[in-house]
């Protein structure tokens, strides 16, 4: 093949949308082959837009993981949903992630209603097929086909990676021609400070129960690298809403906070490729999730 006949390079932005707990963040990490978006079994883990770059031979896909769409009922959740919906108008493709095992009709109807307003190609990734019987899966596909005219419906398992390559090929075919937006060695535009805070927040979601995960936010107070020692020192604060939550997140003799810190440190070390000294503090900021000024301060 001559140089003139080479495949035209394609690039574009893809918004990953879906109901809470549909598996959007897990799917993003699997598509990238690298963890940048935090996950947990609890709904509404993702609060910000997370950008990841997939580099392929003749294309570049910029994937934007958005928070789960749900019926918002307080200042924080309203901002979270607005963050997700505001992304749709700025991308080339919308990748809707549906849960093949559990339908969330309220969130799905909100999503479809908003997608119908935007004239963009929409691909449905029907996730969690690893836990669904094949006869039931066909019924689920038919139900989704009745809801919207998708460009394609691709059954996938973000957990096992089944169907992920097929999904990438479908998305690649829908991309517009264009040059790459990011250099080949770049997986995300997020600063290391942000991802470190997210890794800490993930461990709070995974290791605490009841209202604690939803009442917590994490800020990085300092992120410094000691010259000639190859160690990054991170001081971070976990913000909670009530005094009663402080003892729960610290745990007896500090065991829970130590567990959160140890697991977060290990993941941050994998991310940045160097030793990390992580120090966590806990602070009560009363009803921060209902205060617009505090939400802005915390980056929401």
Distances in Å between the Cα of 8 and the Cα atoms of 89, 91, 172, 176, 180 are 25, 20, 12, 10, 12
Residue 126 pLDDT > 90, yes or no? yes
CB 106 within 8 A of CB 133: no
pLDDT level of residue 43 (50, 70, 90 thresholds)? very low
175-194 tens-digit pLDDT: 999 999 999 888 887 778 88
209-256 tens-digit pLDDT: 777 877 888 999 998 887 667 788 999 999 999 998 898 899 999 999
Residue 284: what pLDDT? 92
Residue 78 pLDDT > 70, yes or no? no
Q: Is the dihedral of CA 192, 195, 201, 205 positive or negative?
A: negative
Highest mean pLDDT out of 81-90, 153-162, 223-232: 153-162
- Domain 3-174 -> CATH class: alpha beta
Residue 140: what pLDDT? 92
**CB atoms < 10 A from the CB of 107, how many?**
22
Same fold, 3-174 and 192-297: no
Residue 39: what pLDDT? 57
Ordered by start, the domain boundaries in the chain are: 3-174, 192-297
Q: Which two tokens stand for residue 96?
A: 């809707």
Superfamily of domain covering 192-297: K homology (KH) domain (3.30.300.20)
Residue 1: what pLDDT? 41
pTM score of the predicted model: 0.70
Residue 202: what pLDDT? 87
Q: Which two tokens stand for residue 224?
A: 């410094």
Summarize the confidence of residues 124-151 as an average pLDDT: 92
Residue 52 pLDDT > 70, yes or no? yes
């Amino acid at each position: 093949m001559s140089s003139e006949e080479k495949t035209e390079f394609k690039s574009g932005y893809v918004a990953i949308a879906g109901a809470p707990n549909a598996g959007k963040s897990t799917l993003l990490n699997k598509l990238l082959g690298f963890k940048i978006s935090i996950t947990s079994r609890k709904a509404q883990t993702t609060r910000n837009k997370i950008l990841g770059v997939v580099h392929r031979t003749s294309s570049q896909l910029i994937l934007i993981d958005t928070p789960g769409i749900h019926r918002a009922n307080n200042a924080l959740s309203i901002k979270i949903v607005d963050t997700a919906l505001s992304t749709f108008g700025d991308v080339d493709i919308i990748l809707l992630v549906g849960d093949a095992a559990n339908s969330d009709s309220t969130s799905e109807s909100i999503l479809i209603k908003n997608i119908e307003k935007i004239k963009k190609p929409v691909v449905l990734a029907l996730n969690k097929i690893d836990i669904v019987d094949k006869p039931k899966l066909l019924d689920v596909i038919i139900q989704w086909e009745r809801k919207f005219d998708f460009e394609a419906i691709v059954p996938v398992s973000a957990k096992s990676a089944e169907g992920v390559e097929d999904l990438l090929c479908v998305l690649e075919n829908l991309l517009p021609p264009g040059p790459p937006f990011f250099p080949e060695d770049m997986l995300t535009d997020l600063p290391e400070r942000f991802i470190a805070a997210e890794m800490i927040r993930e461990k709070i979601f995974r290791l605490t129960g009841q209202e604690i995960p939803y009442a917590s936010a994490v800020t990085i107070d300092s992120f410094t690298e000691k010259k000639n020692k190859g160690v990054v020192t991170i001081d971070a604060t976990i913000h909670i809403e009530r005094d009663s939550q402080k003892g729960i997140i610290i745990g007896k003799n500090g065991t829970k906070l130590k567990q959160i810190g140890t697991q977060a440190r290990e993941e941050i070390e994998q991310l940045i490729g160097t030793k990390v000294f992580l120090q966590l503090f806990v602070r009560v900021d009363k009803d921060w999730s209902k205060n617009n000024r505090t939400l802005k301060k915390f980056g929401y």
